[in-house]
Structure 1
Amino acid sequence: MLEKILETVCGKNGEEPKIDGKKIKGTLVLNKKNVMDSIDVCASFLDRVHELFGKGVSLQLISAVHGDSENGSRGKLGKTVFLENWISKVTSLSAEDEVTFNVTFEWDESIGVPGAFIIRNHHHSQFYLKTVTLEDVPGHDKLHFVCNSWVYPAHRYTYDRVFFVNKTYLPFDTPEPLRLYREEELINLRGNGSGMLKEWDRVYDYSFYNDLGSPEKGQDHERPVLGGSEYPYPRRGRTGRRPNKKDPESESRLPLLNLNIYVPRDERFSQVKFSDFIAYALKSLGQVLVPEIKSIFDKTFNEFDTFQDVLKLYEGGSGIKLPDGHCLAKLRECVPWELLRELLRSDGEKFLKFPVPDVIKEDKTAWRTDTEFAREMLSGVNPVLIRRLEEFPPTSKLDLETYGNQNSSITGEHIEKNMNGLTIYDAIKQNKLFILDHHDALMPYLERINKNTNTRTYATRTLLLLQDDGTLKPLAIELSLPNFQNKEQGAISRVFTPAEHGIEGSIWQLAKAYASINDSGYHQLISHWLNTHAVIEPFVIATNRQLSVLHPIYKLLHPHFRDTMYINALARQILINAGGILETTVYPGQYSMEMSSFIYKNWNFTEQALPADLFKRGVAVPDPSQRNGLRLLIEDYPYAVDGLEIWSAIKDWVEEYCSIYYHSDDIVQGDSELQSWWKELREEGHGDLKNKPWWPKMQTRDDLMETCTIVIWVATALHAAVNFGQYPYAGYLPNRPTVSRRLIPEQGTPEYAELESDPDLAFLKTITAQFQTLLGISLIEILSRHSTDEIYLGQRDSPEWTADIIPKQAFERFSGKLVNIEERITRRNSDKRLKNRVGPVNVAYTLLYPNTSDYSRSGGLTGKGIPNSISI
């Protein structure tokens, strides 16, 4: 009792009492750095020492209503308070264990309602600040700050770390005391454009793709700089590493095994995600081990002799036996034990056993049928290229003077015999002819690929007929080579038509393989890497540089950028670099990224909208009576049917959300941050295409809504459709080979005789070799897995992502629509009339199943679920 009286009279700890003051309780949730988090094993100990010397973690509230005239009218600062009991909060070895701290702020009328706070970390090590919640704020029940950011020691910054309340303000609506804090935060995130960036730097900036080659290793490791006039490309995040000593235009590379590539720290994987990803990183080390492993296994492990040998790779198969003890010892000399252990798996007896891919789970041979070959163009891993044939024969858009005549040599005589009595004229008129055309994309590089790499392949065109039951029937495959002797004469082409038996049937199977090889490379380089990963990264950078966390469009788009910069940085380090896994396993080899630059020249942002894409490919026609104003010409087109429902749900959500904050076109035009964002995105992020007329002008609400819908679609559903089916379909490489090693054999050659006598062996000797197969499916197994901490479309990482009630209600409606879509997808997959939903291999199309109702987050090779971002 005496202690209470003295405290009232004299104040706690001798301070002057604040009779009219009020206490605001705060709760911080964070992850402390622990000894498992890095090589800094002293982190926890040193933080405790800093606490003992009074160097703790401090916070100051910033008023949203009262400015300080002596501090540039910035919000008045509250009294500094420190976190207590840091030492008593034991650091767990678990990467994701949260620690909660309570803190008490003093409040009076001179502070008013807090709109932000400053946090200073005086410890030795960083921590991850998740949320701060203030209770009993006068006039408010609770105030939430969703932080989700790493806070490094204060000496690492030249400015204060400021976090804003989870309210939403357009720039001109921002409370005056918070405006300078808002503007200064964006300036800090832009950096000064110079210097090598460190892990604690919070800088978003642009750079060319000038870090793929290693010219110091010789000519074979040189790669052109992508981005600029000669090789246009989207920009990537700047790291500021020093120039390469041999080529100053190129950036020096980190050692191959170093995955600590700079991206702003908050863009890196969580510890859970990184743990899930580590197997991918370990397998990727295989690229430096290629010579060593080849030298050990060439004599006995270079080829698959039968399809049964391929099946032995998978669970339930007998496995590939390990080499003898001497070879195993040699292997351990050149392979890190962690990687060797991953390759050996848990039983220690089989080499590289994989889960059984969906495409062969029920039937080991159905993938070879013409029906399945065609179906996968509509519901496989790359269902975004097939288009309607509007003129016959197919024509080329390649420059006639440069490439000669590249038009197709397919004739009516080739195909009309298989067209169910239709003529070509009738089929075109009735919208029944379709084509999978890889000719123009590949032909400009085909001569160099076939001369300078181990690949021997063709540029392909595949013609198909839409049948009355909704399935597609292959009619012909054209295989074309450049005319090395006389380019002016154009392509040298051969046309093959379906056959089931004898040598003709064997050659037809090879022709389908060449078409699949073309499609595999185009899928990986263009449909997947370029059209999702690469084109979205400039949006990530521009959003963080130009849109404040208080901005409504930041709150709308930011969840769809999670982990994208880091997965792209890892790709530059171990996948798309010179000699990387992609070059090793996909047919364009060293020309892979250059070829993607050639195709980026024709990239069009507005055509990434699903309806626009379907119109462009001629697989849909305008129909105002339909939900999206179109009618599909292939009614049973699973990717398009499911995709249009997802597209509509996203579009409705974006329109409802944007309408809350933008009541007129004038507000769009007057939004300074939004206009700076869009200008920088076009002129810097996609600067090589800045003068294209198709960019939205960002002058109307429609411009804004269209842009945001496209960005979210690409970062979520489009990426899911072209990524998570990789292992289910391509995990069995004969179904989706990535390389061909020889051309169609000529009569009278030993290869032709082998094709007659043992067509399966000839097929396997033509497609991807054994080592490349092992490396390739190791990669796509990891790429196809959902992380255990995945956040799916229709979910948010925090229920307090905004304090605005109306957007929350709109988001709940969006989530509900996705649940309804899931139910309709399930019903469609059960409808036996829809033959393209499942097909001969009995694999249901679930790649656009949102998975909003599955909160177990078990991860793995589920083959369904639309993550919120491009995060793998």
Structure 2
Amino acid sequence: MAANKSCFLKESSPKMSKTYKLEVKTGTDLAAGTCSDVSIVLVGVNGESEEHRLFHKWSNFISGALTKFTIPGNEDIGELLFIRLSMQSYLNFPLDPWYCNYVNVTCPEGQTYQFPLYQWILKCESVEIPEGKGVVITKNTSPALQQQRKLELGKKRETHKWKVYAEGVPRCIDLADDDPKNLPPNEHYSFQKQADFIYTSNSTGLEVKLNGYTSNTDSWHNLEDIKLVSSLRKSGYSDIVSDIWTEDTFFGSQYLNGINPTLIKKCVKLPNDFQVNDDMVAPSLGECSDLQKELERGHIFLADYELLKDIPANTINEKRQYIATPMCLLWKNTQDQLVPIAIQISQTPEENVPIFLPTDSKYDWLLAKIWVRSADVQLHEVDTHLLRTHLLAEVFSIATTRQLPMGHPVHKLIIPHLRYTLEINAFARTRLIGEKGVFDRALVTGKGGVPVLLKKAMAKVTYSSLCLPDDIKERGMEDIPNYLYRDDGMEIWTAMERFVSKIINHYYKSDEMVKEDPELQAWVAEIFTEGFLDNESSGVPHSLENRASLIKYLTMVIFRCSAQHAAVNTGQFDFYSWMPNGPTTMKKPPPSTKGGTTMETILEALPDVNCTAAGISTVWVLSNEPMDRRRLGDYPDKHFTEKEPQDYIREFQSDLHTISTRIQKRNKTMRLPYPYLDPSHIENGVSI
């Protein structure tokens, strides 16, 4: 017996009348193993065991090890509720971290209990791991288990605190010096992912530096020169985009199947400040020359960038930059293609604000479309991508850690979809949207524009806009053909909702259980307060009354963190590596008249060489998920230990496989495929 009365146990201890058999699994990350001593206490309904120190051998806790131990079971502690793990330094060696996947315990009577952790243990203080069955707290829950959950959440609230990033914007995690290195250890990338991410970032940056692009503040002299920097890296589709970017049909298709497919909406009445008439659009509409009739038929659509109004513009390379607030009218033609038919580059119809048309000169029309694409980049990156996936996912992650203990079934359901989110978001706040970050160096919304735009965008966020079926309906996009974001997304939403429904109905046997679950209600309330800033008009729930509302809410959370992020992130290099299709800024004001545009004036308005290089290298990194990936529905960490949830997971995976097979078959027939919502390409969470 050790001095602290713990039992020092060997792998093959002497035969005892009663013993507990343990299986201890160490994670597979290269740094997961430890040479420190590990001790365990078993806690049951009748009390707890002595502390037992597990036999120390160099191979017991190396990376990937599954090691078996036995400990005495002379005391009847009853049904196991949780275990308590702790570490101590071995001899005079410093304490080194250990990543524990799980501990399985077989009792003397033969019952087996599973204790999933999948976390780092770094300190001498103990970590309590509840038994793997999901438990919703009720009045019949063991007081010992309730106390364990309170202590667990108390510790996590010390490591995961809220901080105001900017006024009117979802809160973020509070970090010392805003340094990602100061994140709690379980929020960091794995060793493999970190190494691959750093390599990709540095190698891409090195290429553009070696070619002299990052220090070149000149304008581009011709389009072919732009291909020199865009050709440093290639994707399967980037070359196709550079070939077809001037086509009106491609311009229109990006609103349906591009990187920002949630802006467009059906137009039933023209905005008062967008004075388009039949004479303007008749040549585009052809035989369908009556604009009012086309509006009534549901064939007219609008992309409105009003949100960009009054956003301060950046200064880059000591040159003033310009941001526009265009309105773009589109028509579903008789070939079921979406094409632009009128563009106004400002929200205000004035004499010096012409409405550009496809019948204008080739370069007038091209420049008008470029201005729309530049505006689209700003809304996509700040609103659609950053706010509605990254920042909301961070809110979900922090609130889950603070309010839902490991043993809660909702924690088990969504924790795979929150993996690495805090790491990538901390990186984004320092390297992308932080001072002297990529936005400051390359985007018109840098140097103070991002927080202003985020605040305006946040005021427009509604619950219905976050729920795919509701969003599609509100925008009137149910019937437009070839809307693959909608078609693929709805299949995934339906499969996800079915999976969530099975899990929730397994643990919540009535609506009353939902209403009376204090941990769940605290979680939803904290998300509403810290994420949606108590905005009642958003329609976001601050409490949940029944199982149906919980199922919808969880489907929204999981979809946002996985499929929605994939839809607005993965294709960035495909669509933006050809810079004229996605200019990060414009350095000349919008044209005030028609007829004066040439290719030279277009090139003068496009971003400088170094801005282009920064933008292309950034979207390359963000479009390529580093190693240690987990595809949608892939749950190698078995947080659910019961048979029924495991069956539901397999059914979900089967549904996703069916969707993936259909998408891959369809994409083989397309000139420019849409792979971004193929489940085999979707990451479980926001991790890049």
TM-score under structure 2 length normalisation = 0.90
Instruction: Report the CA distance between 1:490 and its aligned residue.
Output: 7.4
Distance in 2 between residues matched to 1:471 and 1:371, nearest whole Å: 6
* 1:639 shift after superposition: 0.5
Alignment-derived partner of residue 378 in structure 1 = 256
* 1:201-240 C-alpha deviation (Å, 9 max, x unpaired): xx1121100xxxxxxxxxxxxxxxx1xxxx311110112x
**Distance between the aligned counterparts of 2:409 and 2:659, measured in 1?**
27
* Alignment partners' CA distance in 2, 1:98 and 1:715: 29
- 2:303 equivalent to 1:436: yes
Q: 2:345 is paired with a residue of what secondary structure? A: strand
Q: CA deviation at 1:98?
A: 2.5
Correspondence list, 1:46-85, <5 A: 56-63=37-44, 65-67=45-47, 76-85=48-57
1:102 to 1:127, Cα distance in 2 relative to 1, 3 A: farther
> 8 Å contact 1:385–1:436 — kept in the other structure?
yes
CA-atom RMSD in angstroms: 3.1
1:127 equivalent in alignment to 2:97: yes
What is the distance in 1 between the residues matched to 2:468 and 2:249? Answer: 25
Q: Quick one: which of 84, 102, 107 aligns to 2:68?
A: 102
2:117 to 147, 152, 161: 147
1:607 aligns with 2:485: no
Give CA deviations for 1:353-381 in whole Å, capped at 9, x if unaligned: 222561324x7522211111111111111
Question: 1:579 deviation in Å?
Answer: 2.5
Deviation of 1:473 (Å)? 1.9
What is the match of residue 184 of structure 2? 264
1:547 is aligned, of 385, 404, 429, to 404
Counterpart of 1:265 in structure 2: which amino acid? P
Give, in angstroms, the shift of residue 135 of structure 1. 5.2
Residue 787 of structure 1 aligns to a residue whose secondary structure is: coil
Output the CA distance in 2 between the equivalents of 1:793 and 1:32: 21
- Contact between 1:113 and 1:138, CA under 8 Å: does it hold in 2? no
User: Hey, what's the Cα distance between the residues in 2 that align with 1:511 and 1:554?
Assistant: 48
- 1:740: how far off? 1.0
- Structure 2 residue matching 1:719: 3-state secondary structure: helix
Residue 394 of structure 2 contacts residue 422 of structure 2 at CA under 8 Å; is this kept in 1?
Answer: yes
| Structure 1 residue 655 corresponds to structure 2 residue 591 | no
Instruction: Tell me the residue number matched to 1:767.
Output: 606
Report how far residue 491 of structure 1 moved.
9.2
Q: Name the counterpart of 1:411.
A: 277
Pairing partner for 2:327 from 429, 453, 461: 461
8 A contact 1:850–1:866 mirrored in 2: yes
Structure 1 435/572 Cα, relative in aligned 2: closer, same or farther at 3 Å?
same
Higher RCO, Cα 8 Å, sep 6+: 2
Q: Is the 8 A contact 1:738 1:768 kept in 2?
A: yes
Question: How much does 1:295 deviate?
Answer: 9.7
In structure 1, the residue matched to 2:356 is 496
- For 1:303 and 1:763, how far apart are their aligned partners in 2? 10
Out of 809, 815, 826, which is 2:664 matched to? Answer: 826
1:491 and 1:523, CA in 2 relative to 1: closer, same or farther beyond 3 A? Answer: farther
Match of 1:780 among 619, 629, 636: 619
User: Which residue pairs with 1:868 in the alignment?
Assistant: 684
Amino acid at match of 1:708: L
Unaligned runs of 5+ in 2: 1-7
Judge which range, 821-830 or 423-432, deviates more: 821-830
The CA deviation string for residues 686-715 of structure 1, in whole angstroms up to 9 with x for no partner, is 325257554264011111111101101111
Match of 2:170 among 234, 248, 259: 234
Letter in structure 1 aligned against 2:49: L
Contact 1:434-1:463 at 8 Å conserved across structures: yes
Q: How many residues of Structure 1 are paired with residues of Structure 2 in the alignment?
A: 670
2: distance between equivalents of 1:724 and 1:61? 45
Counterpart of 2:384 in structure 1 is 527
- The alpha carbon displacement at 1:296 in A equals 5.5
Deviation at 1:60, TM superposition (A): 1.8
| Aligned partner of residue 445 in structure 1, secondary structure | coil
Contact 1:697 1:703 in 2 (8 A): no
CA distance in 1, matches of 2:118, 2:611: 40
- Paired residue for 1:22? 19
Distance 2:174 2:196 in 1: 26
Please give the alpha-carbon distance, in whole angstroms, between the structure 2 residues aligned to 1:187 and 1:824. Answer: 46
CA distance in 2, matches of 1:537, 1:127: 25
Question: Tell me, what secondary structure is at the counterpart of 2:310?
Answer: helix
1: CA distance between counterparts of 2:427 and 2:333?
44
Distance between the aligned counterparts of 2:378 and 2:515, measured in 1?
A: 42
Give deviations 1:727-780, integer Å, cap 9, x for gaps.
11111212211111113557899xx4xx54xx2x43232212211111111111
Distance 1:284 1:565, change over 3 A: farther
Q: Which residue of 2 aligns with 1:185?
A: 152
| Partner residue of 2:224 out of 290, 308, 318 | 308
Equivalent in 458, 463, 483 of residue 637 of structure 1: 483
Q: What is the aligned counterpart of 2:529 among 673, 683, 701?
A: 683
Partner of 1:367: 245
Residue 804 (str. 1) matches residue 670 (str. 2): no
Counterpart CA distance in 2 for 1:566 and 1:464 is: 40
After superposition, the Cα gap between the structure-2 partners of 1:132 and 1:555, relative to the gap in structure 1 and judged at 3 Å, is closer
Q: Which amino acid aligns with 1:578?
A: E
- Percent identity between matched residues is 25
Deviation per CA, 1:306-342: give whole Å up to 9, x if none. 2221222355xxxxxxxxxxxxxxxxxxxxxxxxxxx
Shift of 1:530: 0.5
Does the residue aligned with 1:729 lie in a helix, a strand or coil? Answer: helix
CA distance in 1, matches of 2:409, 2:454: 34
For residue 115 of structure 1, report the CA deviation from its aligned partner: 2.9
Tell me the amino acid that sits aligned with residue 505 of structure 1: K
User: 2:5 — aligned with what?
Assistant: none
> Which of the pair has more CA radius of gyration?
1
Matches within 5 A, 1:236-635: 236-239=172-175, 241=176, 259-260=180-181, 262-279=182-199, 281-282=201-202, 297-298=216-217, 302-315=218-231, 353-356=232-235, 358-361=237-240, 364-392=242-270, 394-395=271-272, 407-422=273-288, 423-438=290-305, 440-445=306-311, 454-480=320-346, 493-499=353-359, 504-590=361-447, 591-619=449-477, 632-635=478-481
| 3-state SS in 1 of match to 2:580 | coil
1:79 and 1:306 mapped to 2: Cα distance? 73
Alignment-mate amino acid for residue 181 of structure 1: Q
What code does the residue aligned with 1:378 have?
L
User: In the superposition, relative to structure 1, how do residues 271 and 412 fare at CA in structure 2: closer, same or farther (>3 Å)?
Assistant: same
Amino acid at match of 2:608: A
The gaps in structure 1 that reach 5 residues or longer are 1-10, 38-43, 68-75, 92-96, 192-202, 210-225, 242-251, 316-352, 396-406, 483-488, 620-631, 832-837, 852-864
Cα 1:745–1:24 shift into 2, 3 Å: closer
Do the aligned partners of residues 652 and 355 (structure 1) sit closer, same or farther apart at CA in structure 2, a change above 3 Å counting? same
SS in 2 for 1:25: strand
Shift in CA distance, 441/584, structure 1 to aligned 2, threshold 3 Å: same
The AA in structure 1 aligned to 2:357 is: T
Change in Cα spacing, 1:253 to 1:169, as seen in structure 2 (3 Å) is closer
Cα offset for 1:387? 0.6
**Cα gap change, 1:364/1:775 in structure 2, threshold over 3 Å: closer, same or farther?**
closer
User: 1:19 & 1:708 partners in 2: Cα distance?
Assistant: 48
Distance 2:580 2:660 in 1: 31
| Alpha carbons of structure 1 residues 457 and 207: separation in structure 2 relative to 1, 3 Å | closer
Rounded to whole Å, the distance in 2 between the matches of 1:188 and 1:253 is: 21
Quickly say closer, same or farther: Cα 1:457–1:21, change in 2 above 3 A.
Answer: closer
SS in 1 for 2:480: coil
Identify if the C-alpha distance between structure 1 residues 12 and 31 changes in structure 2 by more than 3 Å, giving closer, same or farther: closer
Displacement of 1:139: 4.8
Q: 2:101·2:119 contact (CA, 8 Å) conserved in 1?
A: no
Distance in 2 of aligned mates of 1:733 and 1:448: 18
Mapped to 1, the partners of 2:540 and 2:417 lie a distance apart of: 24
SS of match in other structure, 2:24? strand
TM-score by length of 1: 0.72
Matched residue type, 1:236: C
